[in-house]
Chain A
Amino acid sequence: MPAVSKGDGMRGLAVFISDIRNCKSKEAEIKRINKELANIRSKFKGDKALDGYSKKKYVCKLLFIFLLGHDIDFGHMEAVNLLSSNRYTEKQIGYLFISVLVNSNSELIRLINNAIKNDLASRNPTFMGLALHCIANVGSREMAEAFAGEIPKILVAGDTMDSVKQSAALCLLRLYRTSPDLVPMGDWTSRVVHLLNDQHLGVVTAATSLITTLAQKNPEEFKTSVSLAVSRLSRIVTSASTDLQDYTYYFVPAPWLSVKLLRLLQCYPPPEDPAVRGRLTECLETILNKAQEPPKSKKVQHSNAKNAVLFEAISLIIHHDSEPNLLVRACNQLGQFLQHRETNLRYLALESMCTLASSEFSHEAVKTHIETVINALKTERDVSVRQRAVDLLYAMCDRSNAQQIVAEMLNYLETADYSIREEIVLKVAILAEKYAVDYTWYVDTILNLIRIAGDYVSEEVWYRVIQIVINRDDVQGYAAKTVFEALQAPACHENLVKVGGYILGEFGNLIAGDPRSSPLIQFNLLHSKFHLCSVPTRALLLSTYIKFVNLFPEIKTTIQDVLRSDSQLKNADVELQQRAVEYLRLSTIASTDILATVLEEMPPFPERESSILAKLKKKKGPGTVTDLEEIKKERSSDMNGSAEPASVNASAVSTPSPSADLLGLGAAPLANSAPPPSSSGSLLVDVFSDSPSAVAPLAPGSDDNFARFVCKNNGVLFENQLLQIGLKSEFRQNLGRMFIFYGNKTSTQFLNFTPTVICSDDLQSSLNLQTKPVDPTVDGGAQVQQVVNIECVSDFMEAPILNIQFRYGGTFQNLSVKLPITLNKFFQPTEMSSQDFFQRWKQLSNPKQEVQNIFKAKHPMDAEITKAKIIGFGSALLEEVDPNPANFVGAGIIHTKTTQIGCLLRLEPNLQAQVSV
């Protein structure tokens, strides 16, 4: 029961609100609202002019209805009328309505802007305040266009009242956030910096927020703010708790301002001037010292405010990363918090320590808290705290403690919340690989992962274990033995069947000498799982069987019997049926030599060669984990345009179906580089006659052209003696349009000319392509055009395939080229300061968020060409961001329908070695 209704009570409004609250059902509420809306509508339309009070009351009722979640489509004009009232409360309600129900009607906007202009010019501080609040609340581009020039003047004018200055500063900040291009830098900037010296702490607080935002993008312009901020901070931290009067909060002097000043300083490196630097160090020491003093109040507000400043100071210490003494003190302080009774502090300490772990000065100090963190993982009751503990364990992991940390994470995984299992699985997989000295440990760890949390083991993880086993001779026998044993379990996860099937298919021979794992036993073991598995796994097992035919000729007939059974040969699934038919034929007609060639052991995978597109794909989700080694290693990305993951698919048993071939690990088959599929494809054509409807293998050489299109949009995609294919394309945000030009280079007609754009199943869900059919006849010398409309729904890695079939002089022509629609086409450049860039860079340390690639440059490295490539790639080229001028830095945002993904890249060329790191 509210005892007071201050200001002017609007009785009608109160009654209406009571009515709504008394409604027993949603229906009754809607009925009451409709009645009220009808009433208001009739009042607004009525002949009798409404007085200001009534107008205010009805506008307020509309606002209430809107805030309940109903749509309001009228009343804007009445609200605008209120703006020009000279009664404060009427004006105030008018502005509130406008701010909440922003309308894009241009006539209305003109009227609103007029009212705002009048109020800004009124020199009445309360009216000016209302107008500034409205601009900030709406914050639209139109508002910025109208007022971004005016507000800086108000802000720095000598006669502006303090309260208006505060509003002007924050209003400008808001406009700068939405439309930085419309806020002109100029003389006012230096005067804004001097507001840090203002007597009024409220003004300083607002100005500090503004300066921080501006300095992030224009560090040079606001450099002088550093020394001013340091001296202001110093005065605050050394003041007695009563000095600042109303700005002291529960005995903590100006905590908000302190936090903001510390935040501003994080836009800059440590001050160069030794005096300023010394003073700042003193401040930071004082803040750390105060944390040890007994509290001045038992209230949680006191400790929260004090610790807010402390955590911000620690952030600054970590950001500077230059004072070992301070870093270690910060670490010790956080260590105390790790065992604090306040959950909030334990959470923040874990979070903050994560970043501390990435500093070489404090990494060791962080490691000393390992037992506490492991304990937190086991005992914390709040999943968000446990999540922080996992992050910290990941961040503090190095060669010395990897075994312990991985073991603890595996332990925790058994009971971990479902929401964080996948992330833990990834982290374990990464740590196990990164710090594996002994690869048998690695294999055991991954198999454990599959055993404990098989559902959360993504494809990348099990692909990776197979890649590693294939690349390391020393672990293959052990891997075969271990998977064989693991498969003995009566119920094992399908992912284990996949890994087991693959590894035994490659290396089953290494354990076949043991009678307990003879070829037949291996086969029977795998086949006992077959019927419980999904289609892709069964397809993989069929490939394993054909590999067994080569490895173990003695069980060939057993396998042929299985392949020959109706359940295989007549399987309803096309893929399975086709494999069964092909493998059976292959095993029957091919000589042992051919079999041995076709089914040869997989060649090693190229080490660590994942593409930049993979990085983009993985750069999702929040990341708060930082990793020392990753940062110190200086990450970077592949820029030379080799966009496709170079997976190796030397197995000749590729199928003409566009669905994924499981033997082509790590990449869908159509995204393969040209040579392996064409050789394997042609082999297939030799053995089995190709059906005319099948999609042709990729045309040789088309990949080179494809790579060129990664950084450009127009040009010739393909050319042979008959046909030329040209492209023109444009992309905007997540949409694009591509014109494909087919030129008949001969003097004879092409008949039945049918170009088709094919997306794999995976790709279909992330890329919407619409094509219009083209005329089936292309005259000699003529060119036809086809339009493809493109919508990027979510991130993707493969490229669609353009298949073209036509008849030329009686012969059937069938060719395929990759269509250069790559994720970077939806990339929009973003400018950012060095500060900003590296802050974000450091945040991106989640394993799914970064990719480093060291590669030998294929072309001479010319700075200008490289720059052009980075821009062509779609990101903004950020100059003077990287401390090393030889490095290239880019940033951008990938636009998809579902989400937008920020993306940063660095290229560090090593000219002597002709290598880019």
Chain B
Amino acid sequence: MRFMLLFSRQGKLRLQKWYLATADKDKKKMVRELMQVVLARKPKMCSFLEWRDLKVVYKRYASLYFCCAIEGQDNELITLELIHRYVELLDKYFGSVCELDIIFNFEKAYFILDEFVMGGEIQDTSKKSVLKAIEQADLLQEVRNPPKRPLWTPIDL
């Protein structure tokens, strides 16, 4: 996999992960271009498309688009399920994950993705192993900083 993007229906980038060194300028250009292409597609269209010299696999979950760019030889369907497994992991960790969880805990979203995919290849496909790694990390919390629940103000999506 070359990169993974999460963006909202409004075209806000929520997460970006690059597995091949890319200049910041090019990243911005690619993100803009690809968001435009994907957001313009209608529902029920197929989840794959050719884009530049890459294949793009995307899927929409509620208000969020998950979008992976893979290479010519890579398997589209398994990438689609990689996206799904990532969503399951987020869901399990946050409990009914929604876009706000990813906005406010963006660092966690990155950590979970890192445990799951590394260097563009899947590291462990077992939900248990990945979550175990994350929760272990959470257990390493210091007592000195007890978790504080932020006072949320309701925000309409």
Q: Hey, which chain A residues are within 8 Å of B80, CB to CB?
A: 304, 308, 344
* Interface members, chain A 80-101 (any B CB < 8 Å): 87-89, 92-93, 96
Beta-carbon nearest neighbor of A2 in chain B: B101
Q: Hey, which chain A residues are within 8 Å of B142, CB to CB?
A: 8, 87, 89
Task: Establish whether residues B94 and A202, one from each chain, have CB atoms under 8 Å apart when the complex forms.
Answer: no
Candidates A96, A126, A178; contact of B136 at CB < 8 Å: A126
Task: Establish whether residues B94 and A2, one from each chain, have CB atoms under 8 Å apart when the complex forms.
Answer: yes
What's the nearest-Cβ distance from chain B to residue A137, in Å?
8
Residue A277 is within 8 A (CB to CB) of chain B in the complex? no
Beta-carbon nearest neighbor of B130 in chain A: A202
Contact with B along A303-332 (1 / 0, CB 8 A): 011011101100000000000000000000
Beta-carbon nearest neighbor of B122 in chain A: A256
Given A9-B149, A63-B107, A839-B73, CB of A2 within 8 Å of CB of B121: no
Task: Establish whether residues B150 and A254, one from each chain, have CB atoms under 8 Å apart when the complex forms.
Answer: no
Beta-carbon nearest neighbor of B17 in chain A: A137
Beta-carbon nearest neighbor of B93 in chain A: A6
Q: Hey, which chain A residues are within 8 Å of B101, CB to CB?
A: 2
Contact with B along A346-364 (1 / 0, CB 8 A): 1110000000000000000
Beta-carbon nearest neighbor of A66 in chain B: B24
Residue B63 is within 8 A (CB to CB) of chain A in the complex? no
What's the nearest-Cβ distance from chain A to residue B79, in Å?
8
Q: Hey, which chain B residues are within 8 Å of A4, CB to CB?
A: 94-95
Q: Hey, which chain A residues are within 8 Å of B104, CB to CB?
A: 2, 5, 14, 17
Task: Establish whether residues B105 and A312, one from each chain, have CB atoms under 8 Å apart when the complex forms.
Answer: no
Given A3-B95, A96-B111, CB of A166 within 8 Å of CB of B123: yes
Assembled-state Cα–Cα distance A622/B44 (Å):
25
Candidates A6, A11, A247, A259; contact of B78 at CB < 8 Å: A259
Contact with A along B78-108 (1 / 0, CB 8 A): 1011101100000001111010110111111
Beta-carbon nearest neighbor of B96 in chain A: A3
Task: Establish whether residues A9 and B106, one from each chain, have CB atoms under 8 Å apart when the complex forms.
Answer: no
Q: Hey, which chain A residues are within 8 Å of B100, CB to CB?
A: 1-2
Assembled-state Cα–Cα distance A67/B73 (Å):
30
* Interface members, chain A 867-902 (any B CB < 8 Å): none
Assembled-state Cα–Cα distance A521/B86 (Å):
72
Beta-carbon nearest neighbor of A88 in chain B: B140
What's the nearest-Cβ distance from chain A to residue B113, in Å?
10
Candidates A9, A173, A259; contact of B148 at CB < 8 Å: A9
Task: Establish whether residues A259 and B75, one from each chain, have CB atoms under 8 Å apart when the complex forms.
Answer: yes
Residue A426 is within 8 A (CB to CB) of chain B in the complex? no
Task: Establish whether residues B103 and A17, one from each chain, have CB atoms under 8 Å apart when the complex forms.
Answer: yes
Residue A152 is within 8 A (CB to CB) of chain B in the complex? no
Task: Establish whether residues A249 and B145, one from each chain, have CB atoms under 8 Å apart when the complex forms.
Answer: no
Contact with A along B141-157 (1 / 0, CB 8 A): 11011011110111100
What's the nearest-Cβ distance from chain B to residue A160, in Å?
15
Residue B36 is within 8 A (CB to CB) of chain A in the complex? no
Looking at A378-386, A395-403, A587-595, the stretch in contact with chain B turns out to be A378-386
What's the nearest-Cβ distance from chain B to residue A870, in Å?
25
Name the residue among B100, B119, B120 with the largest chain A CB count within 10 angstroms.
B119
Contact with A along B2-23 (1 / 0, CB 8 A): 0000000000010110011100
Task: Establish whether residues A129 and B128, one from each chain, have CB atoms under 8 Å apart when the complex forms.
Answer: no
Residue A69 is within 8 A (CB to CB) of chain B in the complex? yes
Residue A705 is within 8 A (CB to CB) of chain B in the complex? no
Residue A133 is within 8 A (CB to CB) of chain B in the complex? yes
Assembled-state Cα–Cα distance A69/B13 (Å):
9
What's the nearest-Cβ distance from chain A to residue B89, in Å?
13
Q: Hey, which chain B residues are within 8 Å of A126, CB to CB?
A: 133, 136-137, 140
Task: Establish whether residues A308 and B94, one from each chain, have CB atoms under 8 Å apart when the complex forms.
Answer: no
What's the nearest-Cβ distance from chain A to residue B141, in Å?
5
Assembled-state Cα–Cα distance A137/B85 (Å):
21
Residue A255 is within 8 A (CB to CB) of chain B in the complex? yes
Residue A139 is within 8 A (CB to CB) of chain B in the complex? yes
Task: Establish whether residues A11 and B95, one from each chain, have CB atoms under 8 Å apart when the complex forms.
Answer: no
Q: Hey, which chain B residues are within 8 Å of A263, CB to CB?
A: 73, 75
Assembled-state Cα–Cα distance A384/B37 (Å):
12
What's the nearest-Cβ distance from chain B to residue A158, in Å?
21
Assembled-state Cα–Cα distance A167/B119 (Å):
9
Task: Establish whether residues A382 and B46, one from each chain, have CB atoms under 8 Å apart when the complex forms.
Answer: yes
Candidates B53, B81, B111; contact of A301 at CB < 8 Å: B81
Assembled-state Cα–Cα distance A249/B86 (Å):
13
Beta-carbon nearest neighbor of B28 in chain A: A69
Q: Hey, which chain B residues are within 8 Å of A301, CB to CB?
A: 81, 84
Q: Hey, which chain A residues are within 8 Å of B19, CB to CB?
A: 139, 174
Q: Hey, which chain A residues are within 8 Å of B33, CB to CB?
A: none
Candidates B16, B20, B46, B145; contact of A8 at CB < 8 Å: B145
Q: Hey, which chain A residues are within 8 Å of B149, CB to CB?
A: 5, 9
Assembled-state Cα–Cα distance A88/B135 (Å):
12
Q: Hey, which chain B residues are within 8 Å of A171, CB to CB?
A: 118-119
Q: Hey, which chain A residues are within 8 Å of B15, CB to CB?
A: 67
Task: Establish whether residues B49 and A348, one from each chain, have CB atoms under 8 Å apart when the complex forms.
Answer: no
Q: Hey, which chain A residues are within 8 Å of B82, CB to CB?
A: 256
Task: Establish whether residues B145 and A53, one from each chain, have CB atoms under 8 Å apart when the complex forms.
Answer: yes
Candidates A2, A266, A843; contact of B98 at CB < 8 Å: A2
Assembled-state Cα–Cα distance A335/B155 (Å):
50
Residue B61 is within 8 A (CB to CB) of chain A in the complex? no
* Interface members, chain B 109-129 (any A CB < 8 Å): 110-111, 114, 118-129
Beta-carbon nearest neighbor of A303 in chain B: B77
Task: Establish whether residues B133 and A96, one from each chain, have CB atoms under 8 Å apart when the complex forms.
Answer: no
Contact with B along A127-150 (1 / 0, CB 8 A): 001001100110110000000000
Given A312-B75, A622-B53, A843-B72, CB of A343 within 8 Å of CB of B46: yes
Residue A201 is within 8 A (CB to CB) of chain B in the complex? yes
Given A2-B100, A249-B85, CB of A18 within 8 Å of CB of B136: no
Task: Establish whether residues B125 and A170, one from each chain, have CB atoms under 8 Å apart when the complex forms.
Answer: no
Contact with B along A1-30 (1 / 0, CB 8 A): 111111111010011011001100000000
Contact with B along A169-201 (1 / 0, CB 8 A): 011011001100000000000000000000001
Name the residue among A177, A344, A381, A385 with the largest chain B CB count within 10 angstroms.
A344
Assembled-state Cα–Cα distance A647/B75 (Å):
44
Assembled-state Cα–Cα distance A345/B126 (Å):
26
Task: Establish whether residues A11 and B125, one from each chain, have CB atoms under 8 Å apart when the complex forms.
Answer: no
What's the nearest-Cβ distance from chain A to residue B51, in Å?
9
Task: Establish whether residues B78 and A5, one from each chain, have CB atoms under 8 Å apart when the complex forms.
Answer: no
What's the nearest-Cβ distance from chain A to residue B24, in Å?
8
What's the nearest-Cβ distance from chain B to residue A129, in Å?
7
Beta-carbon nearest neighbor of A137 in chain B: B114
Assembled-state Cα–Cα distance A78/B26 (Å):
27
Task: Establish whether residues A202 and B48, one from each chain, have CB atoms under 8 Å apart when the complex forms.
Answer: no
What's the nearest-Cβ distance from chain A to residue B5, in Å?
12
Residue A64 is within 8 A (CB to CB) of chain B in the complex? yes
Contact with B along A93-133 (1 / 0, CB 8 A): 10010000000000000000000000000000010010011
* Interface members, chain B 45-87 (any A CB < 8 Å): 45-50, 52-53, 72-73, 75-78, 80-82, 84-85
Q: Hey, which chain B residues are within 8 Å of A89, CB to CB?
A: 137, 140-142
Q: Hey, which chain A residues are within 8 Å of B45, CB to CB?
A: 343, 381-382, 384
Beta-carbon nearest neighbor of A206 in chain B: B123
Report which A residues bind B (CB closer than 8 A): 1-9, 11, 14-15, 17-18, 21-22, 53, 60, 63-64, 67, 69, 87-89, 92-93, 96, 126, 129, 132-133, 136-137, 139-140, 163, 166-167, 170-171, 173-174, 177-178, 201-202, 205-206, 209, 246-247, 249, 254-257, 259, 263, 266, 301, 304-305, 307-309, 311-312, 343-344, 346-348, 381-382, 384-385, 387, 621-622, 624, 839, 843
The 3 closest A-B pairs by CB, nearest first: A174-B119, A308-B77, A88-B140
What are 10 A-B pairs with beta-carbon distances under 8 A? Answer: A3-B95, A6-B138, A8-B141, A53-B144, A96-B110, A201-B125, A205-B125, A305-B78, A346-B46, A348-B76
Q: What would 20 more interface pairs be, CB under 8 Å, given A67-B15, A247-B125, A305-B78?
A: A5-B149, A15-B150, A163-B124, A174-B119, A178-B21, A202-B125, A247-B126, A249-B81, A255-B81, A263-B73, A308-B77, A312-B78, A343-B45, A344-B46, A344-B48, A344-B80, A346-B46, A381-B45, A622-B52, A843-B72
